[in-house]
Amino acid sequence: MTTDIKKLVFAIVLLSSIWGCSSTDVYVVQRAISQDGRYFAEVSVNRGSALKYDWYFAGVGLTQSAWSDRLKGDGDAQICSLQGRGQLTVYWSAPRELMVICTDCDEKQFYENQTSWNGVAIRFAFQN
């Protein structure tokens, strides 16, 4: 094998092993619709990443967003993430009030992005 071919094979093996250490597989594990049906909240998780723990994200959005909202990026938003032990759940305590519960979480690994979005108040609570 020539040196160039050996380098190419090595690069392919190296990239394959790096790619295999991380995953972009994101799954929606919970979806809740507000009482008036106007909004949704979702919890998504990236399982099998190179991190020690699953990586959770919570988001909120309009159930019937217009194409212009999606074009402008106003149809939904990420509101928080958890990058350590624990898990996230969401529920609607009122049509315009969303609760995000972080269970068995390391609060240092929990990141709030927004406390309100498009008229929805977002509250966070921790349960251990």
pTM as predicted? 0.75
Mean predicted confidence (pLDDT) in 79-86: 91
What confidence tier does 68 reach under pLDDT thresholds 50, 70, 90? low
106-121 burial, b for 16+ CB within 10 Å, e for fewer?
Answer: eeebbeeeeeebbebe
Task: Kindly report the backbone phi and psi dihedral angles of residue 114, in degrees, each rounded to the nearest multiple of 5, phi listed first.
Answer: -145, 150
If you ran DSSP here, which 8-state letter would residue 21 be given? H
Residue 1 has pLDDT above 70, yes or no: no
Compute the average pLDDT of residues 19-48. Answer: 84
Mean pLDDT of 57-85: 82
- For the cut 70, the answer to whether the pLDDT of residue 15 exceeds it is no
**Coil, strand or helix: which one is 88?**
strand
Contact 64, 82 (CB under 8 A): no
